[in-house]
Protein backbone atom coordinates (compact mmCIF):
# COMPACT_ATOMS: atom_id res chain seq x y z
CA UNK A 1 0.00 0.00 0.00
CA UNK A 2 2.84 2.39 0.78
CA UNK A 3 4.32 1.77 -2.67
CA UNK A 4 1.00 2.64 -4.31
CA UNK A 5 0.89 5.98 -2.51
CA UNK A 6 4.42 6.85 -3.62
CA UNK A 7 3.70 6.02 -7.26
CA UNK A 8 0.46 8.01 -7.31
CA UNK A 9 2.14 11.05 -5.75
CA UNK A 10 5.01 10.77 -8.21
CA UNK A 11 2.70 10.90 -11.23
CA UNK A 12 1.12 14.17 -10.11
CA UNK A 13 4.41 15.84 -10.99
CA UNK A 14 3.60 15.33 -14.70
CA UNK A 15 0.26 17.04 -14.28
CA UNK A 16 1.80 19.99 -12.48
CA UNK A 17 4.62 20.32 -15.03
CA UNK A 18 2.15 20.16 -17.93
CA UNK A 19 -0.06 22.81 -16.33
CA UNK A 20 2.86 25.14 -15.62
CA UNK A 21 4.15 24.71 -19.19
CA UNK A 22 0.81 25.46 -20.82
CA UNK A 23 0.06 28.34 -18.45
CA UNK A 24 3.45 29.91 -19.13
CA UNK A 25 2.93 29.67 -22.90
CA UNK A 26 -0.50 31.31 -22.70
CA UNK A 27 0.71 34.02 -20.32
CA UNK A 28 3.69 34.76 -22.53
CA UNK A 29 1.48 35.12 -25.60
CA UNK A 30 -0.95 37.31 -23.64
CA UNK A 31 1.91 39.53 -22.44
CA UNK A 32 3.35 39.87 -25.95
CA UNK A 33 -0.09 40.67 -27.36
CA UNK A 34 -0.84 43.33 -24.79
CA UNK A 35 2.59 44.94 -25.25
CA UNK A 36 2.24 45.14 -29.05
CA UNK A 37 2.62 48.63 -30.50
CA UNK A 38 -0.19 50.08 -32.59
CA UNK A 39 1.82 50.26 -35.84
CA UNK A 40 2.96 46.64 -35.44
CA UNK A 41 -0.63 45.58 -34.81
CA UNK A 42 -1.81 47.33 -37.98
CA UNK A 43 1.02 45.75 -39.97
CA UNK A 44 0.22 42.25 -38.70
CA UNK A 45 -3.51 42.67 -39.25
CA UNK A 46 -2.93 43.51 -42.93
CA UNK A 47 -0.39 40.77 -43.67
CA UNK A 48 -2.71 38.21 -45.28
CA UNK A 49 -4.21 40.87 -47.55
CA UNK A 50 -0.98 42.49 -48.72
CA UNK A 51 -0.05 41.73 -52.34
CA UNK A 52 3.62 41.48 -53.28
CA UNK A 53 3.26 41.80 -57.04
CA UNK A 54 0.90 41.30 -59.95
CA UNK A 55 2.55 37.95 -60.68
CA UNK A 56 1.26 36.52 -57.44
CA UNK A 57 -2.27 37.54 -58.41
CA UNK A 58 -1.96 35.82 -61.80
CA UNK A 59 -0.58 32.63 -60.29
CA UNK A 60 -3.34 32.58 -57.70
CA UNK A 61 -6.11 33.09 -60.26
CA UNK A 62 -4.69 30.32 -62.46
CA UNK A 63 -4.54 28.04 -59.44
CA UNK A 64 -8.26 28.52 -58.86
CA UNK A 65 -9.03 27.06 -62.30
CA UNK A 66 -8.77 23.35 -61.74
CA UNK A 67 -8.61 21.65 -65.08
17 domain-assigned:
yes
| pLDDT per position as a tens digit, 6-45 | 666 777 888 899 999 999 999 999 999 999 999 998 888 8
Is 9 inside a domain boundary? yes
Residue 52 lies inside a defined structural domain of this protein: no
> Looking at the 3D structure of the chain, how many domains does it have?
1
15 vs 17: CA distance, rounded Å: 6
Report which of 54, 62, 32, 31 is spatially closest to residue 44, judged by C-alpha positions.
32
What pTM, to 2 d.p., does this model score? 0.53
Distances from the Cα of 23 to the Cα of 16, 29, 34, 43, 64, angstroms: 10, 10, 16, 28, 41
Residue 28 lies in a domain: yes
Per-residue pLDDT tens for 42-64? 888 888 765 665 555 555 555 55
How many Å apart are CA 50 and CA 11, to the nearest integer?
Answer: 49
Domain that includes residue 23, residue range: 1-36
Amino acid sequence: MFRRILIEDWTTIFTIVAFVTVASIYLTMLYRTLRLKRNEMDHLSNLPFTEDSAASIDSRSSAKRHE
